[in-house]
Copies of this chain bind each other. A is one copy, B any other.
Amino acid sequence: MSEVVVSTRIRLARNLKDYPFPVKLNENGKKELCDKVTKAAKSIMDFDRIDMENLTNTQAVALVEQHLISPEFISNKVGRTLLLSKDRTISIMINEEDHIRLQVIKHGLCLKEAYDIANQLDTQLSEKLDFAFSDKLGYLTQCPTNLGTGMRASVMLHLSALQKGRAVSRISSNLSKLGLTIRGLYGESTEPAGALYQLSNQVSLGISEQSAIDNLKNIASELVTQEIKARDRILSDIEVIDTVSRSLGILKTARLINHNEAMNLLSNVRLGVAQKIVSSLTLDSLDKLISEIQPANILERFGDDLTVRERDIKRADFLRERLN
């Protein structure tokens, strides 16, 4: 499964009864809320507290690139705090759109496991914090689309063969009827860099967490099956083997490489590893690399003041070092 499903994410939106939604909360109110939620969370397990105001833009964007926080979370850093578990699988954004955005992210397809972790933490938090909840509507959230379970479940899919066959947009248009949405993870185009897609549930009202997860799991499995079939179909083509092999060759030798090209080459290599054409690398090491070569991650590693060109050189240096 992990050949296609890179990771699973569960996100719960929660709000505290006695506070207005963040959009209506002043700076002091936000800080009070950050302290309150942090105290509650830390009494349950060990979290690193990161007050977003203390981060540089590069550091903040690097966290977005690692999928630990949302892009929205860094649009305004004042009064916002991130809690991050030691293993970085659990993050809590305080004062994003809702007071609490609790996220669990795990490798591979493991919706139940990720949900159980999120659910357990949610239960423990609810014993210490008074969540806004209506018997009729479920959990109250600022945006009506999150009402009900307040849950978004998503899986990150590597649909390299389906993308090569230009099949993703056809699939995409059918998914909304099933209450799901699929979108490119890097770039909003129909052919996102790296062929990485996020499939997530859209409906949170009038549906249980369990059935939302089951629905997502069924569709994800179906997409995995389609992707694997497409891979088996194209992987006898010498052209595809050629592309995979050259992609690794280029990554190992380039002296200058931009984000988009690196993503697409890594995607090809990932396909090769999954299909056992490439044996010198693992899926895990590639997934880590994909995260590490993102623009802000490169800047964080090699220096904030790099020009775009210098960053592309550092990215190439980094890839050569890791892959050779």
Residues of A within 8 A of B (CB): 238-239, 241-242, 245-246, 248-250, 252-256, 309, 313, 316
A-B contact pairs, 13 of them (CB 8 A): A239-B256, A242-B254, A242-B255, A242-B316, A245-B254, A246-B249, A246-B250, A246-B253, A246-B254, A249-B249, A249-B252, A250-B250, A250-B253
Q: Which 6 pairs, one residue from A and one from B, show the smallest C-beta to C-beta distance?
A: A249-B253, A242-B255, A249-B249, A242-B256, A245-B253, A241-B255
With both beta carbons as reference points, the residue of chain B lying nearest to A255 in the complex is identified as B242
Minimum distance in angstroms from A4 CB to a CB of chain B:
24
Shortest CB distance A151–B (Å): 45
Query: Do most interface residues of chain A lie in helix, strand or loop, or is the interface mixed?
Result: helix
Q: Smallest distance from the beta carbon of A316 to chain B beta carbons, Å?
A: 7
Residues of B within 8 A of A249 (CB): 246, 249-250, 252-254
Q: Which residues of B contact A316 (CB under 8 A)?
A: 242
The reply to whether B255 and A238 contact each other, CB–CB distance below 8 Å, is: yes
Least CB distance, A319 to chain B, in whole angstroms? 11
A313 to B239, CA, bound (A): 10
Contacts of A245 in B (CB 8 A): 253-255
Chain B residues with CB under 8 Å of A309's CB are 238
Task: Give the distance to chain B from A191, nearest Cβ to Cβ, in Å.
Answer: 23
In whole angstroms, how far apart are the Cα atoms of A316 and B252 in the complex? Answer: 18
In the assembled complex, the Cα of A140 lies from the Cα of B241 at a distance in Å of 58
Closest to A310 in B: B238
A313-B238, A316-B242 given as contacts; is B253 within 8 A of A248 (CB)? yes
CA distance A254 to B239 in the complex (A): 10
Q: How far is the CB of A178 from chain B (nearest CB, A)?
A: 39
Residues of B within 8 A of A241 (CB): 255
Q: Which B-chain residue is minimally distant from A257 (CB atoms)?
A: B242
A256 / chain B contacts, CB cutoff of 8 Å: 238-239, 242
Considering the chains assembled together, what is the distance between the CA atoms of A313 and B249 in angstroms?
17
Complex: how many Å from CA A309 to CA B238? 10
Whole-angstrom distance from the CB of A265 to the nearest CB of chain B?
11
Considering the complex, give the chain B residue whose CB is closest to the CB of A256.
B242
Instruction: List 14 additional A-B contacts (Cβ < 8 Å) besides A238-B255, A245-B253, A246-B254.
Output: A238-B256, A239-B256, A245-B254, A245-B255, A246-B249, A246-B250, A246-B253, A246-B255, A248-B253, A249-B249, A249-B252, A249-B253, A249-B254, A250-B250
Beta-carbon nearest neighbor of A254 in chain B: B246
Q: How far is the CA of A317 from the CA of B142 in the complex (A)?
A: 61
Residues of chain B contacted by A255 (CB below 8 angstroms):
238, 241-242, 245-246
Chain B residues within 8 Å of A238, by CB: 255-256, 309, 313
Shortest Cβ distance from A267 into chain B, in angstroms?
16
| Nearest B residue to A249, CB-CB | B253
CA gap between A316 and B309 in the complex, in Å:
32
Report the separation of the CA atoms of residues A256 and B244 in the bound assembly, to the nearest whole angstrom: 11
Give the Cβ gap from A278 to chain B, nearest Cβ, in Å: 10
Bound together, the chains give a CA A248 to CA B320 distance in angstroms of: 14
A239 contact set on B, CB distance < 8 A: 256
A246: shortest Cβ distance to chain B, in Å? 5
